[in-house]
Amino acid sequence: MKSLEQLTRPNIWSLAPYSSARNEYSGRTAHVFLDANENPYNAPFNRYPDPLQLELKKQLSKVKGVPPEYIFLGNGSDEAIDLPYRCFCQPGVDNVVAIEPTYGMYKVCADINDVEYRPVLLDNHYQITAEQLLAKCDDHTKLIWICSPNNPTGNNINRDEIVKTLTSFDGIVIIDEAYGDFSSQRSFRTELPKYPNMIVLNTFSKAWGCAAIRLGMAFASKEIISLFNKVKYPYNVNALTQQQALEALANRYEVDKWVRTLLLERNRMIEAFKLLPTCVEVYPTDANFFLAKMTDAQRIYDYLAAEGIIVRNRTRVQLCYNCLRITIGNKSENNELLAALRKY
């Protein structure tokens, strides 16, 4: 790995971050706060939230098995996807490599930041080798994006190839495990000490059932987390979100129950799809959705939409011709979808 200084944009490396009133006051006990030009009325909404979300990170740390200093929290994973571009990639000069097809936000953020995006096509089993990824890299490649379980294909990317990428690439490897809670594989975040060039992404939006509160997580070395903290908006996670996330963490056994139910439903749906005359193939999945090749994805999509049932049409995505991506819903939603497809 190159040194973090070599990988970081010089202006970011030397950045003196904005220092907020709440940043400068920390730890000591006080009861009169006249430092932040807040309104004394309308508690508790009158106060700026903790810019580093320390209580939330402390609770999260117990669930994720990662110390607080190795955790970044952002306004959805979206923020944690954008920050590596802003920290590491010189616009118009640097580039990133990613598997293809995958989650669309990596490319959107590359385009916004004027960073060249180099997709590497998966094979017919939706897999990739480290060698193929590294072959696309040059001196200006700062990031490699690996989504596992991958969206929209659903499968985990071969673990040995991810490890090889981590150990052979001299830049930063970002592993997006948004669907990790549904996966049979263990998370890479438990191996943080081994890989100083790794960033692992998790989210509250999927298994945790909190897409509305916009809370994403990045796990990485303390040095990378410090960079992110320097560049992020000072109060990037609002107080309502922090409060609601603490509540979700206190009720985390609900999450385990939801996941178990969704995995049972996933198996039931896959078996039912395999029997549909309109379904050609169901691809293996480790997520809360599956990709299905249909006889005519566009027509079936339109038919379902007319019935008030929305699925994701992926037919125009590379390697996903005639494919629909089906999210696992609750039992009655899933039954409605099956009933509609059976009378198609």
Q: Which residue of 9, 51, 72, 77 would you call a contact of ligand PLP, by CB under 6 A?
A: 77
Question: Judged by CB, which is closer to ligand PLP: 152, or 341?
Answer: 152
Q: Which residue of 122, 154, 216, 320 would you call a contact of ligand PLP, by CB under 6 A?
A: 216
Strand runs labelled E in 122-228: 141-147, 172-176, 198-203, 216-219
Give the β-pairing of 141-147 and 323-327: unpaired
Distance of alpha carbon 96 from alpha carbon 337, whole angstroms: 39
As measured in angstroms, the least distance from the Cβ of 272 to ligand PLP is 24
Q: Which residue of 143, 146, 147, 199 would you call a contact of ligand PLP, by CB under 6 A?
A: 147
Phi/psi of residue 120, nearest 5 degrees:
-120, 120
Q: Which residue of 211, 264, 305, 339 would you call a contact of ligand PLP, by CB under 6 A?
A: 211
Q: Which residue is nearest to ligand PLP (CB)?
A: 76
33-41, 117-125, 200-208, 235-243 -> range binding ligand PLP (CB under 6 A): 200-208
6-14, 76-84, 309-317, 318-326 -> range binding ligand PLP (CB under 6 A): 76-84
Helix (H, G, I), strand (E, B), or coil: what is residue 143? strand
Q: Which residue of 203, 242, 285, 313 would you call a contact of ligand PLP, by CB under 6 A?
A: 203
Question: How many residues are there in the chain?
Answer: 344
Distance of alpha carbon 273 from alpha carbon 33, whole angstroms: 60
Q: What is the DSSP letter of 178?
A: T
Question: Judged by CB, which is closer to ligand PLP: 66, or 178?
Answer: 178
Question: Judged by CB, which is closer to ligand PLP: 8, or 113?
Answer: 113
CB atoms within 10 A of CB 171: 21
Q: Which residue of 82, 161, 176, 286 would you call a contact of ligand PLP, by CB under 6 A?
A: 176
Amino acid identity at 217: M
Task: Count interface residues toward ligand PLP (CB under 6 A).
Answer: 13
Structure token pair of residue 8: 């970081």
Helix (H, G, I), strand (E, B), or coil: what is residue 340? helix
- Region of residue 308 (left: phi > 0; alpha: psi -120 to 50; beta: else): left
As measured in angstroms, the least distance from the Cβ of 179 to ligand PLP is 7
35-64 binders of ligand PLP (CB under 6 A): none
Question: Judged by CB, which is closer to ligand PLP: 178, or 270?
Answer: 178
Q: Which residue of 103, 145, 169, 219 would you call a contact of ligand PLP, by CB under 6 A?
A: 103
14-22, 71-79, 132-140, 268-276 -> range binding ligand PLP (CB under 6 A): 71-79
Q: Which residue of 96, 178, 199, 304 would you call a contact of ligand PLP, by CB under 6 A?
A: 178
Strand runs labelled E in 156-284: 172-176, 198-203, 216-219, 279-282
Question: Judged by CB, which is closer to ligand PLP: 151, or 313?
Answer: 151
H or E element in which residue 265 lies:
helix 252-274
Q: Which residue of 55, 78, 170, 336 would you call a contact of ligand PLP, by CB under 6 A?
A: 78
Question: Judged by CB, which is closer to ligand PLP: 95, or 151?
Answer: 151
Find all residues with CB under 8 Å of 300, minimum gap 6, and list them: 278, 294, 324, 341, 344
Which one, of 99, 149, 146, 147, lies nearest residue 121 by Cα?
99
Distance of alpha carbon 236 from alpha carbon 91, whole angstroms: 23
Residue 212 touching ligand PLP (CB under 6 A)? no
As measured in angstroms, the least distance from the Cβ of 51 to ligand PLP is 20
Summarize as ranges the residues that interact with ligand PLP (CB under 6 A): 76-78, 103, 147, 151, 176, 178, 203, 205-206, 211, 216
